[in-house]
Structure 1
């Protein structure tokens, strides 16, 4: 189980190969890669800047990975989230989950991503043709998180405020 917050790009194939290496019990790997779009809410996006609280962010991501591990029988989990200034088409995030069976890997990957989108302490600022603007979580992201809260208890402390 690994969590990284970094400015550097990542190679998905390399990361998935490292995850699988020497682990013959793995029967499924599910991954999600989030990218910077060039259009958001009708405005051209020229760049996106992601900010975070070092230490707090990694702890928050570790917590959700641990919660996923308590819900499903996982063999490995990887979260890489980039920060800094990114351009359209740049990779932002990689969530990869390995398990013996695909159902658990799919569910855990979706769970981690839904939490990350709404609760992890990252702040996004887009540079658009109309100027800079902060990006809030979408209502659809909150609804996605709610299904996990109804299915079981997860931490609702967003990590965005000191505890």
Structure 2
């Protein structure tokens, strides 16, 4: 029950002025979420190979509130990037090393374990990496969203399925 309340709070924090009545009713257990179709790179994701995305609610490419779960493999680095929408997130499992700035620097990350919360303010660069274990993160924003890397050399190549 605490996890469900946390996810609901994240959705409200992402855009408290949005009309809750516009959101479809949906309930899923962790086991049901695990059976949902996985995607790679979609709007608002890093575009890195190996990261799987599950859309839990809404559509990140369209106007309105969306919620996605990112499943990030161990030993994955996401370079500094930003999104046009403000987003909030909760770490579900693993340890997510998260930082803010135009350059990914290990010295500035904070280790966020399960139940931790963080924000990705609109147009503010941030970065993250995993350690020896995979990480699951639930992110809620108000789309449409995108991903813009701090430098063109930080962006993954087209072979990873990155979206412009």
State TM-score, norm by structure 2. 0.28
- State the TM-score, normalizing by the size of structure 1: 0.28
Q: Which has the larger radius of gyration?
A: 1
